[in-house]
Structure 1
Amino acid sequence: MNLITKFINLIAVPLSLGLSIIYILPRVGIAESPRRLQNWQISQKFIPPNRQAPRTTAGGGSRGDSCDLASNETLQPLIPQNKLGLTLAERPTLYWFVPQISVPTAHFSILDDKGIVYATTVKLPNKPGIIGFTLPSNAPSLKVGKQYHWYFAIACNPEEPEKEMTVDGWIERIQTTSALSQQLARTNPQQLSQVYANAGIWHEALHTLVKQRLANPNDRQSPAVGDLTVTANWQVLLESVGLKNLVSQPLINKYRENTQPPQHRHRCKP
């Protein structure tokens, strides 16, 4: 009996170790998956550049008393919290959330230190959502290293132009580096927004994700761990700059046909 008992014990020990290993392996896999997700989220977050926009007296947004709004939502720009967005483009695309409003057009203008560089009217949608506006070919190209101040205003009552919703921000065009150019060239198109976000280039990071969302209108975040989609990218980027309230807002992509002839450039009085 002693020999049989010893034999059983010899078999039981390796068997118990094997079961322990089998039990541990799934636990290791589960622990590592959220870690991969967390690392991805950190890489997708927008990293602000080491520069600030000039101080201005204009607020981030205001509601006119005569605005006929169907909800408590208000006009809001999709820009970083310091109100400065970098771009690599000569004529970048800017985005705003526009609430439900009966006014058909808004006024957009961009200024430098001498006065108005470009101004036009922008058609507004008949439903709330995020709209974009690309500086057209007849607008002067942005110069590298120069900060421009832009305004987007909706006059809620043509009879009272002083009552309007207005938002403003700053934009600066920078020169790409050879290292960034090489990184962009070898990056998967689905991950370009991450490269721009890590480099602090806001307008390209946002515009890249907008184009991906429009190309994948039925995209949804998969419940599978590690299956990261366009919707998830969009959510993480906006939340990283305090725009969580706009994550679920629809995109309205009719901005390419919404401009009218530009106004003449005016010089600021000395």
Structure 2
Amino acid sequence: MSFRKQLQSLGILSTLLGTSLLVYPPSSQAIPEFLVSVDFPQSAPSGGGTLSRTYGGGSRTGATSCLEEGDNVEPLTALIPEDTLVKTADSEPTLYVYVPKTVSSEEISATVVILTPGQPRQLPEEVYVGKTLLPDALNEGGGIVRYKLEGADLKAGETYTWSFSIHCDPTKYDLDRYVRGVFERTEDLEPLPANLDNMNATSLIAKANEYAAGAIWNETVNLAAKLRSLDTGEWAGLLKSVNLPQFESIPFVSCQNSEYCVPEPEDLEF
């Protein structure tokens, strides 16, 4: 379903321009050590210093965030390469976001916005706006949430700026916490096959290396996450290759009895 006819202005544009814990059980089909090989290539920064995979936004003096914060607390972080570029073969990619423990008794909402690049003398165009609630499991501790952007409809050969914003108070955007980056839809490789559950570890690793060799992050991280249920080595190795080793043991958090959270274009009122 396309969101193009249902887009709403959510007050995010100016900012952008400036579940229960899913614990993977041990598997008897451990991956042999010599197969642990997924390593994502490093590349030059593409964000021009304007985008960040860790949280942005500042609080007013005396204001309190709805996320746990402190010197020893990892901040809101998008699990993406340091250059913030997320290449994908999928028109509906998946965002992996580490969200710290929530410290509010109220439901906390979040918004994903995708924009086309701005043209000379033209503002960027919103092509996707999805709203969701943070999983209740985050009340117990921080976790990695996977957001499947169904309906994003990214076009091949195009780049898009995206933001993921958490609204601690929907009436006060200066309390928002957000991460930002860039999607680039590529046709260099096909999207992930639908039969991943039927593929063995060796085949999954080979496919992950194929995407990694093409610097296609979305599919690489999806496959590494799939392999995590068999052996943690691939997941840990991939995160280390993009300088995110601190998240290798953080559990995934589910949304409404599903591994993935799917932001909706409506049904949530801010």
TM-score by length of 2: 0.66
Structure 1 ranges of 4+ moved more than 6 A: none
Amino acid at match of 2:246: N
Deviations 1:137-164 (A, max 9, x none): xx24111111111000112223422221
Counterparts of 2:189 and 2:206, CA distance in 1: 19
Task: Say if 2:80 is the partner of 1:79.
Answer: yes
**Partner SS, residue 205 of structure 1:** helix
Deviations 1:192-216 (A, max 9, x none): 2222222211110101122333xx2
Q: Give the superposition deviation at 1:69.
A: 3.3
Question: Taking structure 1 as reference, are residues 75 and 174 closer, same or farther at Cα in structure 2, changes over 3 Å only?
Answer: same
Q: Give the superposition deviation at 1:96.
A: 0.3
Larger radius of gyration: 1
Task: Say if 2:144 is the partner of 1:130.
Answer: yes
Does the aligned pair in 2 maintain the 1:118–1:262 contact within 8 Å? no
Deviations 1:229-262 (A, max 9, x none): x300001100100111111110113264543325
Counterparts of 1:169 and 1:250, CA distance in 2: 23
Match of 1:171 in 2: 183
- The answer for unaligned runs of 5 or more in structure 2 is 1-31, 118-123, 194-198
Counterparts of 2:248 and 2:77, CA distance in 1: 13
Counterparts of 2:84 and 2:97, CA distance in 1: 13
Does the aligned pair in 2 maintain the 1:142–1:173 contact within 8 Å? yes
Match of 1:53 in 2: 46
Q: Give the superposition deviation at 1:189.
A: 2.5
Counterparts of 1:198 and 1:58, CA distance in 2: 24
Match of 1:117 in 2: 127
Q: State the structure with bigger RCO (CA 8 A, min sep 6), 1 or 2.
A: 2
- The answer for unaligned runs of 5 or more in structure 1 is 1-35, 220-229, 264-270
Amino acid at match of 2:131: T
Question: Taking structure 1 as reference, are residues 189 and 177 closer, same or farther at Cα in structure 2, changes over 3 Å only?
Answer: closer
Q: Counterparts in 2 of 1:92-103, with a 5 A limit?
A: 92-101=93-102, 102=104, 103=107
Q: Give the superposition deviation at 1:73.
A: 2.7
- Worse overlay, 62-71 or 84-93: 62-71
Question: Taking structure 1 as reference, are residues 63 and 261 closer, same or farther at Cα in structure 2, changes over 3 Å only?
Answer: closer
Question: Taking structure 1 as reference, are residues 63 and 99 closer, same or farther at Cα in structure 2, changes over 3 Å only?
Answer: farther
Does the aligned pair in 2 maintain the 1:62–1:74 contact within 8 Å? no
Amino acid at match of 2:158: K
Task: Say if 2:28 is the partner of 1:44.
Answer: no
Match of 1:210 in 2: 225
Question: Taking structure 1 as reference, are residues 157 and 231 closer, same or farther at Cα in structure 2, changes over 3 Å only?
Answer: same
Does the aligned pair in 2 maintain the 1:64–1:156 contact within 8 Å? no
**How many percent identity over aligned positions?**
30
Q: CA RMSD in A?
A: 3.0
Match of 2:237 in 1: 236
**Partner SS, residue 80 of structure 2:** coil
Counterparts of 2:39 and 2:244, CA distance in 1: 12
Question: Taking structure 1 as reference, are residues 117 and 123 closer, same or farther at Cα in structure 2, changes over 3 Å only?
Answer: same
Q: Give the superposition deviation at 1:63.
A: 5.8
